[in-house]
Amino acid sequence: MTAYLGKAVSRVDGPLKVTGKALYAGEFGTADLCTGYVVNSSVAKGRILSIDTQAALNVPGVLDVITHENRPEVASYNESYTDMDAADGKHFRPLYNDRVLFNMQPVALVVAESFETAHYAASLIRVDYEAEPHQADIYAQRGNAHKAPTPMPPDRGDADSAWASAPVKIEAEYHSAAEFHNPMEMHASTVIYNTDGKLTVHDKTQGVQNSAQFISNIFGLPDGDVRVVTPFVGGAFGSGLRPQYQLVLATMAALKLKRSVRVVLSREQMFSFGHRPETIQHFRLACDQEGKLVSTIHEVVGETSSFEDFTEMVVVWSASLYGCPNVRLDYKLAPLDLYTPLDMRAPGAVLGVYGLESAMDELAYAANIDPLEFRIRNFTDVDPASNKPYSSKELLECYRQGAERFGWSKRSHEPRSMRDGKQLVGWGMATGVWEAMQNPASAKAVINIDGSLVVSSATADIGTGTYTVMTQIAAELFGLPLEKVTFRLGDSTLPKAPLEGGSFTVSSVGSAVKQACETLQQQLLDQAKEEDQSPFSNLELTDVVFENGEICIKAAPAERIKIADLLKKGGTPSMEASASASPKKERDDYTTATHSAVFVEVKVDEDFGTIQVSRMVSAIAAGRVLSLKPGRNQILGGMVWGIGMAMQEEGMLDKDLARWMNHNIAEYHFPVNADVHDLDVIFVEEHDEIVNPLGAKGIGEIGIVGVAAAIANAVYHATGKRIRDLPITLDKVFE
């Protein structure tokens, strides 16, 4: 039997991408295609008094300028409309009325025969506003923050009394700046208006069925009149979970003009919707003389918009990652006159674990205990928030293997005690955690008479390797070469799939693919049993193996039958089967999660304050890793992004204008080649028969969790200075 799972397989979609044959949302076209360009507001809050569009309309080639004054009627615009990833509240509706809710809000769409014409005409539009006072400072709004609607683990014990009486304790506050997704592919929607009035939409999205249903609901279109096709996505990181406003505007223009319309947001406009929210985290943490936690108090104020309550799981990790008898959590939202924040890689965890792991490091030093040893002493194999055991948790092995690979035993405990010439050397570490989820999903498998296998599901591939791992699953089950298997995705007409996010695509869609293939195998075996004097008559699926287009008996390998012969005798060129997979009930008795241990070395120039992350080791326990190459790449990408979060990424907000000032790739800093040095990934062996039929937990998120804290802890070890404000820039080192 051919084994592909757990192997280092090159991406099956790689050749299409590197040769430019992979088409993205803004690259599809048709003969009558026209272009829309968005005009954005220049105030943060207020009313539109007037919009002068005449000069734009006079430009040859301009077809229309759509504003709130002349937009077509929209079925659900007079009610709140929603999508699969919507936050609580009254969701933003582009061109709804004269109200301005945030700076850079879309206020008009210029539609023209060419992009250049639309862009130029947009510059001629004049908008008069009645500006109103706005608030864009989370610290100023801290006192007006309200309870987040997301349920949290209940408090346990008496955390405040336990902290007050504890022999060893710390109190600290941590701040993290807003971050922006900045995927390579900018958000785009190409809406093809077909002769029958139906729409074929190419949208940058992490969920084609979400976008299709969203458009159908808003514009009152019958089911089946909107088909969303997105075979490739050039990165998203959460920015494509919610349909963005260019999709609504492109569809609105296409329906109004009865023309195909494309709208692509500029890089600057990519900063006009969503980001990782700014947060303030207040910790009080305490332990006894032996280093066992006795109190955890974690209070968070997170940013949200004035019209929605965006919530993340920021505080929940503090209730479950370590054993502690007394825990109190609080999570509040400060409404600002900005667009609603968005999920961004490992939403909630990357922030909450940064605060928790920074506080754990501070408490370890207060107790004079090695930071790794301190975490080991507080390890728990039962989730204290639910009192459920973990389905698997090889975190201790992550600590062991990561520390051994990194050389942690050679670390001196005291800050400023390790040097390399004029550079201060610091070693820091942190724990990472992310939930291992599975959502209902469906898939279809079709075996053809030529021996090829086509498997499909309406999931996405945002660069994570979905095409590859699903091909591996199907190819291994049928014992076929990878080139004989095709996986289809990114089409809303395919079997139902959840949004691609949260590291649950492999567990969800992969389980459905496995089940669809096994259902098809059973159908083929049943047909083989019907043959005259069939040796397969009394056999079960576990008694046979599929390989190279044949069904073979395990106990008698010479007994085999060609699948092509079965199809010929059945008079059909193919056979298909569909299946739906859902989490099994057994999962309810366990907590399922991925874990990691991150070890970091930094070098800080004592004269200039510059910081270099010279080494990093990340040991990951994520169940069965089905595809090693994309899997390792996912972790490496998360580690690099963690460097950016820790030291570079920061949305610079002019609070007087409530406008992001570094809305471009030149001034929004993130790691480049010179910032990335020795990165090492360890996949710790972990068996889990509870989490899903594949035993895979997903690894898209876990790679970034804990990295920023490990870097911050290493900077403290190098310099003796605790910097609690991300990003850690050289001015803060010198401050």
> Could you report the per-residue pLDDT of 705-735, keeping only the tens digit for each?
999 999 999 999 999 999 999 999 999 998 8
Give the residue-averaged pLDDT of 521-531.
94
| pLDDT value of position 81 | 65
Start-to-end C-alpha separation, the chain: 62
Q: What is the largest CA-CA distance in the chain?
A: 86
159-163 own/partner pairs: CB under 8 Å, 24+ apart: 159/284, 159/295, 159/296, 159/297, 159/326, 159/327, 159/328, 160/295, 160/297, 160/328, 161/326, 162/286, 162/294, 162/295, 162/325, 162/326, 163/284, 163/285, 163/286, 163/294, 163/295, 163/297, 163/326
Which domain-ending residue is among 538, 560, 581? 581
Is residue 74 within 8 A of residue 218, CB to CB? The reply is: yes
Task: Return d(Cα 94, Cα 658) in angstroms, integer.
Answer: 19
Closest CA to 516 of 455, 574, 468: 455
In the predicted model, is pLDDT for residue 274 greater than 70? yes
List the strands of the sheet with 226-228, edge to edge.
62-66, 106-112, 34-40, 261-264, 188-193, 199-203, 226-228
Task: Return d(Cα 302, Cα 335) in angstroms, integer.
Answer: 9
Whether 337 and 477 map to the same domain: the answer is no
Give the residue-averaged pLDDT of 651-660.
97
When divided into structural domains, the chain yields a total of: 3
Whether 77 and 118 map to the same domain: the answer is yes
Contacting residues for 633 by C-beta, under 8 A, at least 6 apart: 465
Which domain-ending residue is among 269, 288, 311? 269
Supply 482's token pair.
């990878």
Task: Return d(Cα 584, Cα 507) in angstroms, integer.
Answer: 12
The amino acid at residue 264 is V
Which domain-ending residue is among 581, 614, 640? 581
Confidence band, pLDDT 50/70/90 cuts, at residue 529: very high
Confidence band, pLDDT 50/70/90 cuts, at residue 516: very high
Whether 421 and 443 map to the same domain: the answer is no
Residue 25 lies in a domain: no
Residue 358 lies in a domain: yes
Q: Which residues pair with 169 in a beta bridge?
A: 286
- β-strands 293-305, 327-336 pairing: parallel
Whether 57 and 120 map to the same domain: the answer is yes
Whether 361 and 218 map to the same domain: the answer is no
CB environment 166-197: b (16+ within 10 A), e (fewer): bebbbebebebbbbbbbbebbbbbbbbbeeee
Whether 426 and 493 map to the same domain: the answer is no
Confidence band, pLDDT 50/70/90 cuts, at residue 12: very high
Is residue 277 within 8 A of residue 47, CB to CB? The reply is: no
Whether 86 and 221 map to the same domain: the answer is yes
Task: Return d(Cα 110, Cα 120) in angstroms, integer.
Answer: 9
| pLDDT value of position 1 | 59
Give the residue-averaged pLDDT of 136-159.
96
Task: Return d(Cα 703, Cα 302) in angstroms, integer.
Answer: 23
Residue with tokens 């003969």: 31
Helix (H) / strand (E) element for 621: namely strand 611-621
| Whether pTM exceeds 0.85 | yes
In the predicted model, is pLDDT for residue 265 greater than 90? yes
**579-602: pLDDT as tens digits:** 999 999 999 999 999 999 999 999
CA dihedral 273, 275, 281, 285 (to 10 degrees): 150
Q: Which residues pair with 35 in a beta bridge?
A: 112, 262
Using DSSP, state whether 453 is helix, strand or coil.
strand
Whether 600 and 717 map to the same domain: the answer is yes
| pLDDT value of position 510 | 98
Range of the domain at 565: 438-581
Task: Return d(Cα 422, Cα 493) in angstroms, integer.
Answer: 61
Residue 57 lies in a domain: yes
Could you tell me how far CA 231 lies from the centroid of its own chain? 18
Contacting residues for 408 by C-beta, under 8 A, at least 6 apart: 372, 402, 427, 429, 599
Q: Report, in angstroms and rounded to the nearest whole number, the Rg of the chain calculated over CA atoms.
A: 27
Kindly report the CATH number assigned to the domain that includes residue 482.
3.30.365.10
CB environment 654-663: b (16+ within 10 A), e (fewer): eeeebbbeeb
**461-478: pLDDT as tens digits:** 999 999 999 999 999 999
Confidence band, pLDDT 50/70/90 cuts, at residue 384: very high
Whether 620 and 481 map to the same domain: the answer is no
Give the residue-averaged pLDDT of 654-662.
97
| pLDDT value of position 73 | 87
CA dihedral 527, 532, 538, 542 (to 10 degrees): -40
**178-225: pLDDT as tens digits:** 999 999 999 999 999 999 999 999 999 999 999 999 999 999 999 899
Residue 410 lies in a domain: yes
Residue 295 lies in a domain: yes
Whether 572 and 698 map to the same domain: the answer is no
**687-707: pLDDT as tens digits:** 999 999 999 999 999 999 999
Whether 313 and 427 map to the same domain: the answer is yes
Is residue 622 within 8 A of residue 594, CB to CB? The reply is: yes
**103-132: pLDDT as tens digits:** 999 999 999 999 999 999 999 999 999 999
Whether 364 and 445 map to the same domain: the answer is no
Kindly report the CATH number assigned to the domain that includes residue 60.
3.90.1170.50
In the predicted model, is pLDDT for residue 250 greater than 60? yes
**281-300: pLDDT as tens digits:** 999 999 999 999 999 999 99
Residue 699 lies in a domain: yes
Sign of CA dihedral 85, 91, 96, 101: negative
**324-371: pLDDT as tens digits:** 999 999 999 999 999 999 999 999 999 999 999 999 999 999 999 999
| pLDDT value of position 90 | 85
Residue 361 lies in a domain: yes
Is residue 285 within 8 A of residue 360, CB to CB? The reply is: yes
Residue 7 lies in a domain: no
Please list the active-site residues. Answer: 701
Could you tell me how far CA 302 lies from the centroid of its own chain? 19
How many other C-beta atoms can be found within 10 angstroms of the C-beta atom of residue 228?
30
Task: Return d(Cα 705, Cα 350) in angstroms, integer.
Answer: 5
Is residue 316 within 8 A of residue 277, CB to CB? The reply is: no
Give the up-direction half-sphere exposure of residue 440: CA atoms within 13 A in the CB hemisphere: 5
